[in-house]
Amino acid sequence: MDFNFTEEHLMIRQAAKDFAETELKPGVIERDEKQLFPKDQMKKLGELGFLGMMVDPAYYGAGLDTISYVLALEELSKIDASAAVAMSVNNSLVCFGLEKYGTEAQKEKYLKPLASGELLGAFALSEPEAGSDATSQHTTAIDKGDHYVLNGTKNWITNGSSASIYLVIAQTDVAKGSHGINVLIVERGAEGFSIGPKENKLGIRGSDTHSLMFNDVKVPKANRIGEEGFGFKFAMETLDGGRIGIAAQALGIAAGAFEMSTAYAKQRKTFGKAISEHQAIAFKLADMATEIEAARWLVLHAAWLKDQNLPYAKASAMAKLFASEVAMKTTVEAVQIHGGYGFVKEYHVERLMRDAKITQIYEGTSEIQKMVISRSVLK
């Protein structure tokens, strides 16, 4: 493994950093307070190629590798995790599966506008009783010959009201268990498809999180991805890649909190010297820096494995597990270092602390990551 970034990697990282500072940071506190989706900023991200980073240029993508993707996600997440998760879902959970397993007709119709940023996508797996358990789908897609009839409810769907294209996991044949699950492309505006109110969340408040309701929605057979019963495998493989994106988001949240804390500690004075010169604060910063660097290499290793077409399920679960825990720990310490200022919104770290918590939950809780890892190591 080459530990040196290419010139292209460095350019992508700098472009993402510049975008975060100039486009995301100015309104991020207001968007958080008012739960405003960064619509204009997402459009600009699409124009810059960040919504189809790993998609082949033949389908209007940027044709970049996974390392470029996680470098960009880290920089965006330092400032605005809500925008970062919207980008992550479009890349990891929607474009990835469509490009790898979609038909040419599906790629022409759906992947091209998704990769170019013309449209935004959503991935609908979680349900009121299922969470990220793809084997426990209560949403059904009954085979009616040339189409399916879709019924059910999906919960906690990122980009829920901003997306135009939804990849929906549904059960077609209960008797076949995981082999009776399909993934269907559903378009916004389909008859019988409705979107619930926006969830009022602790963190990532700018992200559109909604429930989706399907009431006798007709979905053409042409909108099924893969063969009959392929949905479970599709969901599992897509989640493996999605965990790399969430790990990068967690890493960015932690790194952002660390950078803000370091800058604050250098300028804030107590007892006649900067608080960074007090050993209690200096040691906190040392621990934060060490854990963030360890998380960064876990994330990069998972991304590298994916780029090399090597198995990466265990590595992505490890990266997601560790990086999310580091994000939570680091942001709590960041608030502590800032003292009273850390408790007010204008210093950003309280928002990063709230945003950090979700990284331990979505794409599977820490316990689910440990299940994935333990199954691998106990083979």
CATH number for the domain that contains residue 70: 1.10.540.10
Side chain identity, residue 15: A
Catalytic residue list contains 363 = yes
Per-residue model confidence as pLDDT tens digits over 18-55: 999 999 999 999 999 999 999 999 999 999 999 999 99
Q: Are residues 239 and 367 in the same domain?
A: yes
Among 145, 133, 193, 154, CA closest to 172: 145
Q: What is the DSSP letter of 224?
A: B
Q: How far apart are CA 121 and CA 94, in angstroms?
A: 6
Using the 3D structure, point to which of 93, 120, 147 is the last residue of a domain: 120
Q: Are residues 280 and 191 in the same domain?
A: no
What does the angle CA 325 – CA 328 – CA 333 come to, to the nearest 5 degrees?
125
Q: Are residues 220 and 96 in the same domain?
A: no
* Domain-embedded: residue 128: yes
Using the 3D structure, point to which of 214, 231, 248 is the last residue of a domain: 231
Q: Are residues 209 and 319 in the same domain?
A: no
Query: Who contacts 95 (Cβ-Cβ below 8 Å, separation ≥6)?
Result: 51, 52, 54, 55, 61, 111, 114, 115, 121
Domains identified in the chain, total number: 3
Q: For residue 65, give both structure tokens.
A: 């590798």
* Domain-embedded: residue 52: yes
The predicted structure's pLDDT at residue 340: 94
Catalytic residue (choose from 33, 118, 363, 367):
363
Q: Residue 36: which domain range?
A: 7-120
Q: What is the pTM of this model?
A: 0.95
CATH number at residue 352: 1.20.140.10
* Domain-embedded: residue 312: yes
* Bridge partners for 141 per DSSP: 150
State the residue for tokens 């010959």.
145
Q: Are residues 116 and 129 in the same domain?
A: no
Q: How far apart are CA 119 and CA 52, in angstroms?
A: 11
Per-residue model confidence as pLDDT tens digits over 86-133: 999 999 999 999 999 999 999 999 999 999 999 999 999 999 876 656
Task: Split the chain (379 residues) into runs of 10 and give each run's mean pLDDT.
Answer: 89 98 97 97 97 98 98 98 98 97 98 98 90 75 97 96 97 92 97 97 97 98 97 94 97 98 95 94 98 98 97 96 98 97 95 97 86 89
The predicted structure's pLDDT at residue 132: 59
Q: How far apart are CA 208 and CA 162, in angstroms?
A: 7
Q: Are residues 167 and 286 in the same domain?
A: no
Contact 333, 339 (CB under 8 A): no
Q: Are residues 161 and 212 in the same domain?
A: yes
* Domain-embedded: residue 263: yes
Q: Are residues 110 and 157 in the same domain?
A: no
CATH number at residue 175: 2.40.110.10
116-119 contact pairs (CB < 8 A, 24+): 116/46, 116/51, 116/52, 116/60, 116/61, 117/42, 117/43, 117/45, 117/46, 117/47, 117/49, 117/50, 117/51, 117/52, 118/46, 119/163, 119/164, 119/165
Q: Are residues 247 and 325 in the same domain?
A: yes
The predicted structure's pLDDT at residue 121: 98
Q: Are residues 331 and 253 in the same domain?
A: yes
Using the 3D structure, point to which of 211, 231, 251 is the last residue of a domain: 231
Q: What is the DSSP letter of 196?
A: -
- Residues 26, 32, 38, 40: is their CA dihedral positive or negative? negative
Q: Assign 171 to helix, strand or coil.
A: strand
* Domain-embedded: residue 25: yes
The predicted structure's pLDDT at residue 131: 62
* Domain-embedded: residue 15: yes
Q: Are residues 64 and 19 in the same domain?
A: yes
Q: How far apart are CA 110 and CA 52, in angstroms?
A: 12
How far, CA to CA in Å, does 120 sit from each of 45, 91, 206, 266, 371? 11, 10, 15, 41, 31
Q: Are residues 240 and 225 in the same domain?
A: no
The share of the chain scoring above pLDDT 70, in percent, equals 98
* Domain-embedded: residue 1: no
* Domain-embedded: residue 2: no
